[in-house]
Chains A and B, each alone.
Chain A
Amino acid sequence: MNQINNEKPAAFCRLTREAVNSSSLIGVFVAALKREWQLQVRRKGDLINPLVFFALVVVLFPLGVSPTAEILAPVAPGVLWVAALLAVLMSLDALFRPDLQDGSLEQLLVCGYSVAPLSLAKVLVHWLLSCVPLVLLAPLLGIMLYLPWQAQGVLMLSLLLGSLALSLVGAIGAALTTGLGKSGVLMTLLVLPFYMPVLIFGTGAMQAAINGHTALAHLALLAALALVALALSPWAIAAALRIAVSGE
């Protein structure tokens, strides 16, 4: 803990120094990526908890519905996607709060660089560290839910694309509620309606694969959603952070 607190200002100084050297948007972005990576890799609990949550929610279904393959296999795409979606949502809750508490978020906002690339870097690193492991875990849980083999690849691909959109959109909600001490339920209420298109296309892709059709159309739509989120949500996150931190 102590080590992190000592390292953080150093990481921040490095960010500003490197950014000044390159003094371009991409330079700021790359420096922010490095900083976020160093910080987020250290928070082991925040990385592992969403995975455990994902697995636990999936385990609830055989216990609650039925352990037989006839009943579990048809609902497997929906169960896996809903569980993954909730896990992504939960993992986002603590995205900005540590930075707000130790004051580095405020510094980032006043340092004069455009906030959008900084927040994009934060979300991308979070996606890489939290959502990609989730994607890797998903096939194992798929086997446990009797998901047909031909759908496993589509499951991973759709989760990979979908979780990027989910992270980017969810980060807006996380940024809006950063100022609150605890925001779990409120953030869920804000963000879940926006998650429904991703859920629809994600499970649609898997249904198509299970039925032996091509899932390309669904995956393309998921990719389109992720790209739109990639283009627009950094600006919304930046605006939300400014509102939450300095009220402007």
Chain B
Amino acid sequence: MYFNSLSDFINMGGHGLYVWSSYALTLVLLLSSVLLPWLNLKRTRKQLSRQLAREAARTK
């Protein structure tokens, strides 16, 4: 551990605001670039299977 205390770690020698804001933004963007496609994949699957069920019902 490079820092002596938690407040040191958060303060980052006066650069805390810069470091933490850029890490927070990056994390949000990285997570959303995985989460959103994942939700989209699930939604696509559901949509297509519903469509398929409708078609099956119509042909019966």
Touch A–B, Cβ below 8 Å:
no
Residues of A within 8 A of B (CB): none
